[in-house]
Amino acid sequence: MTGNTFGDIYSITSFGESHGISIGGIINGFPSGIFIDEDFIQKELDRRRPGQSPFATSRNEGDKLEIQSGIFEGKSTGAPIGFIVKNNNQNSKDYSSIKDIYRPSHADYTWDKKYGIRDYRGGGRSSAREHIARVVAGAFAKLFLKQFDIRITAYTYSVGEISIDYCDFSEMNNPISCPNINKAEEMMQLITSCKSENDSVGCVVACIIENLPVGLGEPVFDKFPAYLSHAMMSINAAKGFEIGEGFNLAKMRGSVANDSFYNERGKIRTKTNYSGGTLGGITNGENVDFKVAFKPIPTISKEQNTVDNKGRETIINVQGRHDSCAITRAIPVVEAMSAIVVMDLLLKNRLSKN
């Protein structure tokens, strides 16, 4: 009810601030009897962790998952899965310089006004460290979805003005998981030059979900794209979402945009997939593909005009090491939130028919 739970049947309820004791959560609705590969979950967490590539900040938190409950003799029991990830660096920095000042395009001002109090250390609850709980819940969901061979792959679609011009997943083994090796090089150069200029840059993450069954999505309000877009737009810095051809579809004619059905060896398929794998808000068995736009990371080491918490105008210049692009850290979170959505809708769909 108050925004810290996502999912209905399969759900994650999370807690934790950047510089508190720990980040953690409780997973509910994970069925009993599933073998839990903790190494896989830790690896998913590691993908999100800062310091994994030159394109992310060098703070190395470790981010060691400590499962508290819900697993017995290696298997899920159906009981809630509590977990924590300790914050190791919580006392390492002096935040007094930003204590009373609102960083532009950050959550500082709105959070302070909403709650009347704010844990300013490292962004507190508004920090991207909160995504840790999402990645853990997403990793559990992936373990569940693996049974049905459902695969979720997020990748870099664009950084700044540079977009991929083709998509070849065999080229994706690069630090920004971009399936277009030439563009990947350009993008990484752009990120590096932003860093050296103490600036940051936006990006678009694309994602493809393969092997979905027909029938996922709960009309009329929890249509697949609606629920998925809720998930994506809840990620820090997300500013846009589109599914299939998205905003391009708004420019097209129906005679072009409609995805014709045909019969492929007994299976109903569509010749094109402009819709992005859903019709009437329900998956149609084609791949779901979507994009999420992220704004530039607002923390930059440049002088900016702002105000303090008394409303007095002032200048801020946030020093220290910061990511200059969200791309490497957004990718695992986009996958994680997708996995939660798919698992929740898959479980719900089991109840549709008698």
Q: Which of residues 22-61 bind its own copies (CB under 8 A)?
A: 22-26, 28-29, 31-34
Amino acid at residue number 18: S
User: Is the Cβ of residue 38 or residue 173 nearer to its own copies in the bound state?
Assistant: 38
Q: Are 273 and 257 in contact (CB under 8 A)?
A: no
Burial 146-156 (b: 16+ CB within 10 A, else e): eeeebebbbbb
User: Is the Cβ of residue 89 or residue 173 nearer to its own copies in the bound state?
Assistant: 89
Which of the ranges 49-57, 92-100, 154-162, 171-179 carries the binding residues for its own copies, by CB under 8 A?
A: 154-162
User: Is the Cβ of residue 1 or residue 166 nearer to its own copies in the bound state?
Assistant: 1
User: Is the Cβ of residue 172 or residue 279 nearer to its own copies in the bound state?
Assistant: 279
- Rounded to a whole number of angstroms, the minimum distance from the CB of residue 91 to its own copies is 14
208-247 mask for its own copies (x: CB under 8 A)? ------xx-xxxxxxx-xxxxxxxxxx-x-xxxxxxxxxx
114-153 mask for its own copies (x: CB under 8 A)? xxxxxx----xxx---x-------------x--x------
Q: How far apart are CA 238 and CA 337, in angstroms?
A: 13
Q: How far apart are CA 102 and CA 150, in angstroms?
A: 43
Q: Residue 186, interface with its own copies (CB under 8 A)?
A: no
Which parts of 258-277 interact with its own copies (CB under 8 A)? 258-263, 266-268, 270-271, 274-276
User: Is the Cβ of residue 170 or residue 305 nearer to its own copies in the bound state?
Assistant: 305
- Rounded to a whole number of angstroms, the minimum distance from the CB of residue 242 to its own copies is 4
Residues 6 or more apart whose Cβ sits within 8 Å of residue 53? 175, 176, 328
Which parts of 323-352 interact with its own copies (CB under 8 A)? 324, 347-352
User: Is the Cβ of residue 40 or residue 109 nearer to its own copies in the bound state?
Assistant: 109
Which of the ranges 9-17, 41-49, 148-156, 180-188 carries the binding residues for its own copies, by CB under 8 A?
A: 9-17
Q: How many CB atoms lie within 10 A of CB 113?
A: 11
Q: How far apart are CA 90 and CA 120, in angstroms?
A: 12
Instruction: Enter the tokens of residue 107.
Output: 């959550």
74-103 mask for its own copies (x: CB under 8 A)? -xxxxxxxx-x-----------------x-
Q: How far apart are CA 311 and CA 316, in angstroms?
A: 14
Instruction: Enter the tokens of residue 142.
Output: 């992936």
DSSP state of 235: S
**247-250 long-range contacts, Cβ below 8 Å, gap at least 24?**
249/274
